[in-house]
Amino acid sequence: MRNRNFRACVCDPGWTGPRCSDRSCDPRCSLHGQCSKGGGGACLCVTGWNGRHCTLEGCPRQCSGHGQCRADYSGAWGCRCEAGWEGEACDRRTEARCGDGRDDDGGMSAPDIRERERDDGMGGATL
């Protein structure tokens, strides 16, 4: 039953609480985070999400299965790649050993360059 002497506050947009003294979180926060307790309006992001409203992907494609999603000293999430992988999403192989004749990273090895120089007929690489 409602008490007629009780008056509830109707808060302005961006404010909440019994006295409208707590900042509310942006609605986007709930997609990949949660509003912090204490009424500051800060959004606390779940693993892998960054930004004021937790809308920026910090660990693209879950680090492609070649790294771990970790927070740095400032709390921003990013991929820490395993040995042999690099890139924002740990999606590029690193060159294992230069000069071994294998193209681990998708770049051109020395034998590839020499072959192109022969095919050019002028002795210059046609990269």
- Taking only the tens place, the pLDDT of each residue in 65-86 is 999 999 988 888 999 999 999 9
Pairwise CA distance, residues 104 & 84, whole Å: 9
With beta carbons less than 8 A apart as the criterion, state whether 22 and 16 touch.
yes
Residue 121: the pLDDT is 52
Q: What are phi and psi of 76, to 5 degrees?
A: -80, 140
Each residue's pLDDT tens digit, 19-77: 888 888 899 999 999 988 776 888 999 889 999 999 999 999 999 999 999 998 888 89
Which one is predicted more confidently, 89 or 98? 89
* Nearest alpha-carbon partner for 84 in 74, 70, 94: 94
Query: Which residue's structure tokens are 């034998």?
Result: 111
Residue 115: the pLDDT is 57
Q: What are phi and psi of 14, to 5 degrees?
A: 95, 0
Residue 109: the pLDDT is 52
Q: Is the pLDDT of residue 119 over 80?
A: no
